[in-house]
Structure 1
Amino acid sequence: ASAPAAPAGSYQERIALAASEPAAFWGPLARDVLVWDTPYHTVSDCDFRSGRIGWFLGGQLNVSVNCLDQHVRKSPESVALIWEQDEPGT
């Protein structure tokens, strides 16, 4: 697999791109890094004045696949998850 598409430029240039053109910054990263069950059709649709915030519209993904499964496939001998019960008295 190829490396994820990271926006070119210095750290400060990438910050500026993320602020000025969020779709150009986040779109390629989300497309290349995350596993989508259904691809998104729009990176963002946000209007802060009205409080409408939408990211990756139309897209569906499985958090378990993205957080665990893809790493298990790459390194099956490595620990994928450590779970610790958090209940009083145990």
Structure 2
Amino acid sequence: MPINSQDQVNLLKDILNNHQTDCCGSVAECEQLERLVKSLMINADVNNNVKDVLQEIYSYSQHGVNSTDLDQHIESHQQQLSEWVTNIDQFS
């Protein structure tokens, strides 16, 4: 059973919050972010303002998957992680 867009947004925010709080993550989480973003980008119910943020998150997750030091990648994006969650909250 597929999850609805609000559940997808909540899961996206949970992963981003975990990355920010823990300063670490897994390739599987980055891959999950990619799948969530792809699904939300094609959803007409998602606010267009969120789609810009989603594009940034997608790029972050792609770089994370390909990073030789994922924890460093996450650590270097601490400010953006916080901003993305805040921006998503504003528009969702």
- What TM-score does the superposition give when structure 2 sets the normalisation length? 0.30
Task: Answer 1 or 2: higher relative contact order, Cα 8 Å, separation at least 6.
Answer: 2
Q: Could you say which structure has the higher strand fraction?
A: 1
- What TM-score does the superposition give when structure 1 sets the normalisation length? 0.30
Q: Could you say which structure has the higher helix fraction?
A: 2
